[in-house]
Structure 1
């Protein structure tokens, strides 16, 4: 007899949604630091938009 199909198992590390823009920035910096090995290389970040005007 055939077994009913089961849904795929959730991935071990589902993508997390940052709670705040500051957390998103921290996560991006952490990833850039991890991707920039050895540490003598500059971190691999790029700015994709202009900063808001200062008040």
Structure 2
């Protein structure tokens, strides 16, 4: 996440009127479930190289 933000920062720093006001601290739980204890392949997609399996084994990794 930090690496993606670092790559994007120069682009949005040059935009007039754009200011970062908040950044969520996003991470996957070790149980691979959402905070309400369910698996959701939409908000927890398979990301190639992450080492975390998604909830839908038929899904193509991003």
Q: Computing the radius of gyration over CA atoms, which structure comes out larger, 1 or 2?
A: 1
Q: Which has the higher helix share?
A: 1
